[in-house]
């Protein structure tokens, strides 16, 4: 049985990268045209959403969104979420029509084909370089001034220890949000780690639950409020993760009772 699972996981992971490449190749001329100028980014974003949905569907993922508050088109937000899977990128793109720019680690730019567009449309950061981290703020400010939203995974990366439910949050996203007085839109991904973690021999098709929370205002806030807002947003996401886990355990228990 273990051998069957290993074969499935290997083929499934290879299929993931094939799925990443096929839509890019089909849309390649249009994608290139959309990134020639910064004004073309909204068109690139629309195609990126199509790309993301193809991957999610092709991998056997379906998603269920619970929205406490939606995002208004034409308004800038600081979008933050817990980060446990490469599928987080695709799911985030599928969630909202508001064009946003990812702030992400530069290592992903090395992925063939995907990396070509990633480094030309996202704000890349070398987490080992203080200069790179400072440059992020300048580039993010430019994008916000263009009316775009910014998406940051405030844990600063995926924890190596998968038993960690939610790592500590870095300050960057909250500093930017306060400086530009844009609302923070917290999002909780419940099942991405279970469905498609960074552990190669793991995962399965199935449901990905998402909670889009009420926005956290930054109006009239200052740098003195940064830690307070950061901790508030982390608590929102952490509490929701516990709630999701509670519901999952309850469902498993009910299933066992019905089986017996």
Residue 87 near residue 95, CB atoms below 8 Å:
no
Mean pLDDT of the 192-202 span: 94
User: Cα–Cα distance between 160 and 181 in angstroms, integer?
Assistant: 33
Strands (E), the chain: 61-67, 78-81, 100-105, 123-125, 149-152, 184-189, 206-212
Domains and CATH numbers, the chain: 60-259 (3.40.1130.10)
Mean pLDDT of the 60-80 span: 95
User: Cα–Cα distance between 194 and 201 in angstroms, integer?
Assistant: 12
Q: Which residue from 3, 5, 1, 2 is spatially nearest to 204, judged by alpha carbons? A: 5
Mean pLDDT of the chain: 91
* 134 has pLDDT over 80: no
* 50 has pLDDT over 80: yes
∠ CA 76-184-207, rounded to 5° = 100
* 100 has pLDDT over 90: yes
**For residue 74, what are the contacts with CB-CB under 8 A and spacing of at least 6?**
147
Q: State pLDDT tens for residues 136-181.
A: 888 888 899 899 999 999 998 888 888 899 999 999 899 999 999 9
* 17 has pLDDT over 80: yes
Mean pLDDT of the 24-45 span: 93
Q: Which region among 50-54, 127-131, 186-190, 221-225 has the lowest average model confidence (pLDDT)?
A: 127-131
The dihedral through the CA atoms of 55, 59, 62, 67 has a sign that is negative
pLDDT for 190: 97
Beta 184-189 vs 206-212: how paired, if at all?
antiparallel
* 259 has pLDDT over 70: no
pLDDT for 107: 79
pLDDT for 2: 85
pLDDT for 129: 67
The token pair that represents 69 in the structure block: 């508050």
pLDDT for 239: 98
Phi, psi of 207 (to 5 degrees): -80, 140
Mean pLDDT of the 46-56 span: 97
pLDDT for 136: 82
pLDDT for 260: 62
Distance of CA 156 to the CA centre of its chain: 12
Residue 34 near residue 40, CB atoms below 8 Å:
yes
The token pair that represents 138 in the structure block: 């300048």
């Amino acid at each position: 049985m273990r051998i069957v699972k290993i074969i499935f996981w290997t083929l499934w992971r290879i299929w993931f990268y094939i799925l990443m490449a096929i839509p890019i190749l089909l849309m390649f001329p249009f994608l290139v045209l959309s990134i020639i100028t910064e004004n073309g980014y909204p068109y690139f974003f629309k195609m990126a959403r199509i790309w993301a949905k193809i991957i999610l569907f092709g991998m056997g993922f379906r998603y269920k969104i619970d929205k406490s508050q939606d995002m208004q088109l034409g308004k800038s937000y600081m979008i933050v979420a817990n980060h446990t899977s490469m599928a987080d990128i695709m799911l985030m793109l599928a969630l909202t029509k508001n064009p946003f720019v990812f702030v992400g680690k530069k290592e992903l730019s090395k992925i063939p084909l995907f990396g070509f567009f990633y480094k030309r449309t996202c704000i890349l950061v070398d987490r080992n370089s203080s200069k790179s981290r400072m440059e992020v703020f300048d580039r993010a400010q430019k994008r916000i001034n263009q009316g775009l939203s910014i998406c940051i995974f405030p844990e600063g990366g995926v924890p190596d220890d998968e038993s960690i439910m939610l790592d500590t949050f870095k300050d960057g996203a909250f500093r930017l949000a306060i400086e530009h007085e844009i609302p923070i839109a917290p999002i909780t991904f419940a099942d991405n780690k279970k469905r498609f973690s960074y552990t190669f021999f793991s995962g399965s098709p199935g449901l990905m639950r998402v909670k889009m929370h009420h926005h956290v205002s930054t109006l009239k806030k200052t740098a003195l409020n940064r830690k307070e807002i950061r901790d508030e947003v982390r608590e929102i996401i952490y509490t929701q993760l516990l709630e999701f886990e509670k519901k999952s355990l309850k469902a498993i228990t009910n299933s066992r009772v019905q089986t017996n």
